[in-house]
């Protein structure tokens, strides 16, 4: 007997599954979801409007703060777009460093996701291990740029951090360590029986659906859609170090795990390639303060997929309009359609499967002590932390 009455399960805005606020409504018939809707905007900050009221340089920092996880790709997309408007090209060494930071960011983002997704699947050991190993790349990002999040590696016309020989060796050592761990994770997610029971055949999105709903990034590639901006329209240093496209035909949650983990291998390979082919030379070129009138589209491959910037200048010191379309928005559209027909209990995993953007904590590495004018180094702060907790315990 089917009932005419609908039962709606509201989830959010604050809830344990996702670390960022979002509101979902699932209409269910027994255990099976028959309709799904999403309400976003709880962390809407009006950045597009804010950009129209700030200078081009201020906007670089503003857009870097769209996302705490993939901040670098936002700044890169904006910088590449504005540079094209101004008819300026950043030097090859700067382009290489942009791609290098982007791949390191991809590693940190995918490993962060791996942990969160494992947690949603009730596999907290995997969550803790992957986040522990993620610290390797977080430390490298910090050594390179001075920050764990919002690295601020970009300036309009280039980058502001350089690679020394010591740092290069440090990064290569980190990559060796990570590669070993990534292999371990690939083995775990493809062989652990309880984990496979939560992922195999769950949340399947066919290639036709992925195409129709406009899914992007690993979500699309896990459904066999060959879509990657780094391959389709190479930018920054990718024309010099071509990216190997990774796809999987299965389209289920397992495929999304496999694609992202294989992309970790690819990122490690790219980082080694970039360091092997790092051009010598300047880090920046001069940028005009006023940007000539015109419109550009700037697309880059964020960890979650295609990031789209539309930038319009009226020839002044501030942009006329900047439109940002983040990959999560595309993937929300697709996942809400795919959710229908699945069990309510699978929803957390299916939602986490597209890697919706989560906030992460930021930390200071340098601080001014009250009693002195000295800056603390990272090592000092680390030691301070250890001593502090010894006292507390």
Partner 1 sequence: MTVEEHLAQAKKIVEPFAVEMASPDPWRLDVVILPANLIPVLQALKDAHWGYLSAITGLDYPPADGQEGQLEALYHLVMNGVVLTIRVKVPYAHPELESVCQVYPAASLYERELMEMFGFVLKGTPSTERLLLADDWPQGVYPLRKSFQSGKAQEEQA
Closest contact distance (angstroms) between CB of 40 and partner 1 is 6
Residue 13 binds to partner 1 (criterion: CB under 8 A): no
Task: Pick between residue 246 and residue 261 the one whose CB is nearest to partner 1.
Answer: 246
Of 240-299, binders to partner 1 (CB under 8 A) are: 294-297, 299
Which of 8, 212, 340, 367 is close enough to bind partner 1 by CB under 8 A? 212
> Closer CB to partner 1, residue 189 or residue 307?
307
221 Cβ contact partners less than 8 Å away, ≥ 6 residues apart: 227, 228, 245, 246, 247, 248, 259
Residues 337-366 contacting partner 1, CB under 8 A: 337
Give the residue with the Cβ less far from partner 1, 112 or 291. Answer: 291
Per CB under 8 A, the list member of 39, 277, 368, 382 interacting with partner 1 is: 39
To the question of whether residue 43 is assigned a binding role by annotation, the answer is: no
Residue 161 marked in a binding site: no
Q: Are 126 and 185 a contacting pair, CB within 8 Å?
A: yes
Q: Does 68 contact partner 1 by CB under 8 A?
A: no
Q: Which of 20, 48, 142, 317 binds partner 1 (CB under 8 A)?
A: 48
Angle at 142 between CA 138 and CA 145, to 5 degrees: 130
| 324 φ/ψ angles, rounded to the nearest 5 degrees | -120, 125
Shortest spacing between CB 49 and partner 1, in angstroms = 6
Please report, for residues 72, 189, 209, 337, 341, the alpha-carbon distance to residue 205 in angstroms, rounded to integers and kept in the order given.
Answer: 29, 19, 6, 9, 12
103 assigned to a ligand binding site? no
Tallying the residues shown for the chain, one arrives at 393
Euclidean distance between CA atoms 258 and 353, whole angstroms: 11
Cα-trace Rg, the chain: 22
What mask of x and - would describe binding to partner 1 in positions 302 to 321, judged by CB under 8 A? ----x-x-x-x--------x
**Alpha helices per DSSP H over the chain:** 47-52, 56-64, 71-86, 92-120, 124-145, 165-191, 193-199, 207-213, 217-221, 229-232, 253-276, 327-339, 347-353, 378-392
Residue 208 within binding range of partner 1, rule CB under 8 A? no
Q: Which residues are annotated as a binding site?
A: 48, 67, 70, 324, 357, 360
**Positions in the binding site for partner 1 (CB under 8 A):** 37-41, 44, 46, 48-50, 53, 84, 211-214, 232-233, 294-297, 299, 306, 308, 310, 312, 321, 323, 325, 329-330, 332-334, 337
């Amino acid at each position: 007997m089917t009932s005419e009455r609908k039962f709606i399960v509201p989830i959010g805005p604050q809830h344990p599954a996702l670390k960022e606020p979002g509101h979902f409504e699932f209409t269910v018939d027994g255990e099976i979801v028959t309709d799904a809707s999403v309400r976003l905007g709880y962390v809407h900050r009006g950045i597009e409007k804010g950009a129209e009221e700030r200078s081009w340089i201020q906007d670089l920092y503003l857009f870097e703060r769209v996302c705490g996880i993939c901040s670098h790709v936002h700044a890169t997309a904006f910088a590449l777009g504005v540079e094209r408007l101004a008819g300026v090209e950043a030097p090859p060494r700067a382009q290489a460093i942009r791609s290098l930071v982007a791949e390191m960011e991809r590693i940190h983002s995918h490993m962060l996701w791996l942990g969160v997704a494992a947690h949603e699947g009730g596999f907290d050991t995997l969550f803790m291990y992957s986040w522990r190993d993620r610290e390797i790349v977080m430390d490298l990002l910090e050594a390179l740029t001075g920050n764990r999040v919002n690295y601020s590696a970009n300036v309009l016309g280039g980058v502001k951090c350089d690679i020394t020989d010591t740092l290069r060796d440090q990064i290569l050592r980190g990559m060796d360590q990570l590669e070993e761990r990534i292999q371990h994770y690939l083995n775990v997610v493809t062989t652990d029986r309880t984990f496979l029971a939560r992922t195999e055949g769950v949340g399947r999105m066919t290639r036709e659906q992925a195409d129709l709903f406009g899914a992007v990034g690993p979500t699309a590639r896990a459904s066999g859609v060959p879509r990657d901006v780094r391959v389709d329209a190479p930018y920054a240093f990718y024309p010099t170090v071509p990216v190997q496209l990774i796809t999987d035909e299965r389209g289920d949650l397992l495929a999304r795990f496999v694609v992202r983990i294989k992309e970790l291998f690819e990122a490690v390979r790219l980082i080694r390639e970039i360091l092997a082919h790092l051009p010598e030379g300047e880090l920046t070129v001069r940028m005009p303060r006023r940007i000539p009138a015109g419109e550009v589209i700037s697309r880059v491959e964020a960890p979650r997929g295609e990031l789209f910037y539309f930038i319009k200048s009226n020839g002044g010191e501030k942009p006329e309009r900047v439109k940002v379309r983040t990959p999560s928005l595309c993937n929300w559209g697709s996942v809400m359609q795919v959710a229908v027909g699945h069990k309510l209990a699978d929803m957390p995993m299916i939602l986490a499967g597209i890697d919706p953007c989560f906030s992460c904590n930021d930390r200071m590495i340098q601080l001014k002590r009250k009693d002195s004018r000295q800056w603390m180094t990272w090592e000092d702060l680390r030691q301070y932390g250890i001593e502090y907790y010894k006292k507390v315990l």
